[in-house]
Chain A
């Protein structure tokens, strides 16, 4: 009597799908996206102009609830922040946009301080960021 061999499952289509998914993720990966503090709750502004593309050489100061200034993951005191802005202006000019991320509970005097520093170094494209839609 012949022994029938167990039919093996063809895995080739699964491998194809896995490669398709990898290609999708590679193309949608954005390593340059700026990281923002998760503790900041940005106020809603659904009617303002949507940010479609982030311009290169943009400054993203984050103003926390307690008034601290954060750029990226580093906290700056006002003097260091002014040095940072000065260096940015020296390198990229005064047309560099400033996108201020501030928590809803932040007092205006702390945001004013950031805007004053930027204005004193000649930056004039000052924007306040709002939230249109949260992803999750």
Chain B
């Protein structure tokens, strides 16, 4: 599958994160020359900082000799009105700040139209760990993990955000929900159970950050 073209270069880290987690290949192109140098499955143009330059780039990409399609524009809410006369330069748009789920859904939808481009089910990969979000199945080094629901949800939450440090309170409210009456120790208990199930050689995937909380793996985007 050809990569998605991302503009500007360097690309928005938030967009990159969504694409990486979704397993969509991408490459940044800052100008027309860079765009001409590659073959693209589509483009995501982020108009956050410089809408005029972004619209100009979109128009360039859509010129018949380049014809990069489909094209997704990411615009601030205050610039949505600017799209009114520019329907010919994009196929879809997404209002920023966007929710990762929305951006991912739009990218999938756009790419699904492309013949020969098929994305598998939503899968999170990290080292030997594979989490299939649709079937709720997790495996490490191809060995299935027998997780309880909460263990699965906690692992999924952590693995979606590698390298980020979460406090117990945040994990409790994000994974268990506010209505859960158990204390923050619940998180420790589940982390310990997850480590036990991941097995010795992978237990270190979930690291304890002393007097803060936990983090999973290392960030793939630098910190």
Task: Please indicate whether A and B come from the same complex rather than being unrelated chains.
Answer: no
